[in-house]
Amino acid sequence: MFAKLKRIAAFSALIFMALSSAPDRASAITVEVAKKCNALLAKEFPPREPGNPAAGSAKGSGRTQRAFFSKCVENGGKIDSNNSAK
């Protein structure tokens, strides 16, 4: 009887440790924040040729654009244009 109880306690402890060490889930951004950040991105990095996304941006690289968008999402769609990632 004691051995069975010991086995159940060890199994329960193992399950508890496995569940408690699981990483937290990342929260998804809302559609409103994504749209607002996308509009701010287009304003901050205008396209070379309007209507042709393959032409690239008139200023900044893809890396700076991704950094700008990530910073905007982290701030909930609010970004100071003076301190933007350039």
DSSP state string for 46-57: -BSSTT-GGG-B
Phi-psi region of 30 (alpha: psi -120 to 50; beta: other; left: phi over 0): beta
Q: Which residues pair with 57 in a beta bridge?
A: 47
Confidence of residue 85 (pLDDT cuts 50, 70, 90): very low
Read off the pLDDT of residues 5-53 as tens digits, 9 standing for 90 and up. Answer: 788 888 787 777 776 766 666 677 889 999 999 999 989 998 888 888 7
Read off the pLDDT of residues 59-84 as tens digits, 9 standing for 90 and up. Answer: 888 899 999 999 999 998 888 765 54
